[in-house]
Structure 1
Amino acid sequence: MSSKMSSLVNLLHLSFVVPKLIIIFVTWPLLIDSGIQHKSNVIYMTEGIPLDFVRDKQFLIEKRSLPPSVTSTLDIGVKIAMESITDITNIDSTIDLYMTQIWNSNQTRNESLKLSGEDIANFGWTPDTYFILAKTVIYNNIAQYLHFETSGQVTFDQKIRVTAPCKPDIWYFPFDNTSCRIILSSYGFSKEFISLHWMDAGVEFPVAYDKLSELGYEILNMSVSTYEAAYGKQHFVILEALISLRRISSIYLYQVYVPAASLVLVSWVTFWINGDNAGTPARASVGVMTVLSMLTICRGQTDTTNMAVSREPRLLDVYIWASFSFVIAAMIEFALSDFFRDPNFGAPGISPLHIPRYKRTNLKIDRCAQIGFPLSFLLFNVVYWGYVFWHTQKFASLANNWEGDTMKATDL
């Protein structure tokens, strides 16, 4: 009886298991296909590409190769709108800019579409334009847009922060000009595939930029050029923008040049102080004070001009050390005058006629210094400021020829 009951239980168990196995066997291919399709949809949505939307609008999704609709060299126009220039140093500067690239995809559409924000590059092909010689490049993934027009024209605009190389004219400091370069090229496509060119002025400031003066600079000139460069067996189109900045030197006139010249003039006061025993302490005090003050100016400029990385001489150094030399020369003149001074000169009851002539040489030295020192310093200033004026006028013509928005791109 028990054996019959166990057989009946096993039969009932198989009656429940077998239908389930049949259902699984029949639906297994459908489950596999559903899983693959679900996984594929997840990949597309992760990359930000709604598959049905792309198919309906016929947008391009190939991001590593040229668009299939482009059958010849793709011509891309580039223009840059400068937003700000900050952190200008001897070797580089930080530039915030908007780079706009425009090309024709040869695909007409029923309606235009403008996309903005993150991952918009996933909705279509975008150029691989990169910055040559840039130390750092930071792309703002929020401040960008991609515009598809009905005619097939595509506009891609990005906000970018670039640390671009700069080269100042160290010798002319603080009347120097700093040149910063922005160099662009396609990274993977040679000129047979992509041809870059500047649009309109190439580089411009869309609004008046006054904050640059806070950094001690003003815009002198902006120019653009186009040329080719060979990398291996391929030739690439290179776009270069040159931004020339002129340092505002008025602050150095007030803080360095005027104090240095004033100390030189003060050092000459000793030439008119009486050469007797009573005047010696006064002459020594004035000489030491002027020397120490000039040393303070020299040390201050070494610490505060942010030019310590450069070992080249500068015009500012020439003026400071020339002024320092005049002050030292005044001290040497005082030593010579005191050496040839007779101890009895100026004493009561002693006539200067009773003093030997060689003992009265100090008076002649002082008289020569009263004329020679001012004339020498005046001649030095004429030569120095004449050279500075010639330099500033030479580069002022560049600023006069620059007309901002009317500047045209030049091809080399």
Structure 2
Amino acid sequence: MEGGWLAGGRLLLCLTVHLLLQGRGDTFTINCSGFDQHGVDPAAFQAVFDRKAFRPVINYSLPTQVNISFTLSAILEVDAQLQLLTSFLWINMMWDNPFISWNPEECVNINKLTIAAENLWIPDIIISESMTVDKTPPGLTAYVSSEGRIQYNKPGRVTSICNLDIFYFPFDQQNCTVTFSSFLHTVDSLVLGMDKEVWEITDTSRDVIQTQGEWELQGINMATPTMSVGSHTYDQIIFYVAIRRRPRLYVINLLVPSSFLVAIDALSFYLPAENENRAPFKITLLLGYNVFLLMMNDLLPASGTPLISVYFALCLSMMVLSLLETIFITYLLHLATTQPPPMPRWLHSLLLHGTRATRCCPTVPQKGTKGLDLTPAHLPGLKEPVELVGTVPDPREAELRGCSGSTVARLVGLWVQFSHMMDTLLFRLYLLFMAAFVITVIVLWNT
């Protein structure tokens, strides 16, 4: 009795295996009777089309591997205010469908077919940084090989989040990420791989990229971390897309005009300090610089504080300080020629020391034989400058004490010489600060 049950069990097992193998051959191999030179009968793939709602796998404990690559064909826009990168991508995906296979030799040597994508299972691969709804064009097709390898390509205009650093504008480089991952499938059911090497993706993108405007592609790198959300783990591939801004437009329209205006402001120091047109000229330059900044404001980033904005602000500050210096020198000259106060001894000693060190200003008389733009013939009774320092409070007091007119002229000359020396000193400080500032900005831009 027991042997009969054993024999019956063996018979049932053999029958089950036979049916499974028979079913496997009928289900997983496409019937070539539907293939001919004029096309393929859709009925040959109807069993595959009916399974499109389910992940194509024989053993559900094994994940489906999807290989991904993309081609960056255009950089359309970089929005610094909203921190968005708009690009055009060709996304390539490849996976295996074990329910599709046929023998090319028996099927009129057809190795590959194109099938409407809507009839196949498509993995739900998304770009995590995307800020727009996927607008894949309808009616796309997929390539299907005789081994069941499916290749699906789709174009897309992608607007993605990108952490933009505009401090070095317009010589900035940005590194944006494009992350591919599944929306529903965890690593237990779907894993991601690479269809091409990173260098192939980079070279292809450089060859086909269409934009020749503000941005250019520098390179593409890749990382394959996993993302954990609660108790679920998702596989993902992160591509780091490095792009660089072409600065020529901003150099010509922003930096060159600004540099010209600042250079003209520096050259205005060579106008005589006594010239009444020096201050109005600097005011005109200052107004022109403000108009220039207002006109070029649209070329600057709408958010953040780029280095070029700091450069413009300091250039404007230097022009304002230049105007204040001119006002100060004009005031000194006016004071010296109308009612010169007595010069302190320490200031007179400093003036003598500065005059010996530089030759750009008139020389202070040393022994009474040389005057400050004055000669003994014009100023009879010239005295030592040290004797005059602190002894003549004003011209009226000098006249009351019986001093000659040469004493007052000598004091006026000292203050005029001091004004010229201060003008030269401030001009050199202006050039020194401006040179240090420009060098610092160039070094920062180059790094």
User: Is the CA contact 1:94–1:163 (under 8 Å) kept in the aligned structure 2?
Assistant: yes
Question: Residue 339 of structure 1: CA displacement?
Answer: 0.6
SS at match of 2:126: strand
Assess, with a 3 A threshold, how the Cα gap between structure 1 residues 174 and 372 changes in structure 2: closer, same or farther.
same
Q: Which residue of 2 aligns with 1:149?
A: 145
Structure 2 letter corresponding to 1:365: M
Question: Residue 101 of structure 1: CA displacement?
Answer: 1.0
Q: Which residue of 1 aligns with 2:102?
A: 109
Q: Distance in 1 between matches of 2:169 and 2:313?
A: 15
Question: Residue 231 of structure 1: CA displacement?
Answer: 2.2
Given candidates 412, 415, 425, the residue that maps to 1:355 is 412
Question: Residue 70 of structure 1: CA displacement?
Answer: 5.1
Q: Which residue of 2 aligns with 1:164?
A: 160
Structure 2 letter corresponding to 1:300: M
Structure 2 letter corresponding to 1:74: T
Question: Residue 380 of structure 1: CA displacement?
Answer: 1.6
Question: Residue 56 of structure 1: CA displacement?
Answer: 5.3
Question: Residue 193 of structure 1: CA displacement?
Answer: 0.7
Structure 2 letter corresponding to 1:82: L
Q: Which residue of 2 aligns with 1:140?
A: 137
Given candidates 113, 117, 120, the residue that maps to 1:124 is 120
Q: Which residue of 2 aligns with 1:7?
A: none
Question: Residue 58 of structure 1: CA displacement?
Answer: 4.1
Q: Distance in 1 between matches of 2:205 and 2:326?
A: 61
User: Is the CA contact 1:270–1:334 (under 8 Å) kept in the aligned structure 2?
Assistant: no
Given candidates 183, 189, 196, the residue that maps to 1:187 is 183
User: Is the CA contact 1:60–1:67 (under 8 Å) kept in the aligned structure 2?
Assistant: no
Structure 2 letter corresponding to 1:75: Q
Structure 2 letter corresponding to 1:271: F
Q: Which residue of 1 aligns with 2:67?
A: 77
Structure 2 letter corresponding to 1:53: P
Q: Distance in 1 between matches of 2:306 and 2:118?
A: 52
Question: Residue 113 of structure 1: CA displacement?
Answer: 4.4
Q: Distance in 1 between matches of 2:151 and 2:210?
A: 30
Larger Rg: 2
Given candidates 262, 277, 283, the residue that maps to 1:288 is 283
Question: Residue 338 of structure 1: CA displacement?
Answer: 0.5
Question: Residue 300 of structure 1: CA displacement?
Answer: 3.2
Assess, with a 3 A threshold, how the Cα gap between structure 1 residues 189 and 358 changes in structure 2: closer, same or farther.
same
Assess, with a 3 A threshold, how the Cα gap between structure 1 residues 134 and 100 changes in structure 2: closer, same or farther.
same
For structure 1, the 5+ residue unaligned runs are 1-51, 392-412
Q: Which residue of 2 aligns with 1:45?
A: none
Assess, with a 3 A threshold, how the Cα gap between structure 1 residues 334 and 67 changes in structure 2: closer, same or farther.
same
Q: Which residue of 2 aligns with 1:407?
A: none
Assess, with a 3 A threshold, how the Cα gap between structure 1 residues 56 and 183 changes in structure 2: closer, same or farther.
closer
Q: Distance in 2 between matches of 1:265 and 1:89?
A: 33
Assess, with a 3 A threshold, how the Cα gap between structure 1 residues 258 and 220 changes in structure 2: closer, same or farther.
same
User: Is the CA contact 2:130–2:161 (under 8 Å) kept in the aligned structure 1?
Assistant: yes
For structure 2, the 5+ residue unaligned runs are 1-40, 104-109, 339-372, 380-405
Q: Which residue of 2 aligns with 1:334?
A: 326
Alignment deviations for residues 203-233 of structure 1 (CA, whole Å, 9 cap, x no partner): 443562564331x112122112211111232
Structure 1 letter corresponding to 2:436: L
Assess, with a 3 A threshold, how the Cα gap between structure 1 residues 356 and 223 changes in structure 2: closer, same or farther.
same
Q: Distance in 2 between matches of 1:322 and 1:96?
A: 40
Q: Which residue of 2 aligns with 1:252?
A: 250
Q: CA RMSD in A?
A: 2.6
Alignment deviations for residues 180-210 of structure 1 (CA, whole Å, 9 cap, x no partner): 2211111221111111112222544356256
Q: What percentage of residue pairs aligned between the two structures are identical?
A: 17
Alignment deviations for residues 281-329 of structure 1 (CA, whole Å, 9 cap, x no partner): x112211121112212332343332x21x2x321101211111111111
Does 1:63 pair with 2:52? yes
Question: Residue 266 of structure 1: CA displacement?
Answer: 1.2
Q: Distance in 2 between matches of 1:206 and 1:336?
A: 61
User: More displaced, 227-236 or 364-373?
Assistant: 364-373
Aligned residue-pair number = 327
SS at match of 2:88: strand
